[in-house]
Amino acid sequence: MTYIVVSHKVGIPGDVYIPAEGVNVAALLDGGFIVESTKTVTKSAKPKSSKTAGSTTEATQSDEE
């Protein structure tokens, strides 16, 4: 199971929480310090550029004519 930090008291919010041996995970969940992740944590791919044929460079060149 993967857990995500919610409270700065146990880590940086949004980071994956890996409990040490002996940590009462149920108490952290009940207290709202961490939550169970419903997704597999992976690095996201870099978004692709969304330039279109009518970019600002082309518009500037046509305005100069």
Tens-digit pLDDT profile for residues 6-17: 999 999 999 999
Instruction: Give the residue extent of every domain in the chain.
Output: 1-39
What distance in Å separates the CA atoms of residue 46 and residue 33, rounded to the nearest whole number?
Answer: 30
Query: What is the tens place of the pLDDT at every residue in 2-56?
Result: 999 999 999 999 999 999 999 999 999 999 999 998 875 555 555 555 555 555 5
Prediction pTM value: 0.57
Nearest CA to 37 out of 47, 25, 46, 45 is that of: 25
pLDDT for position 1:
84
Amino acid at 50: S
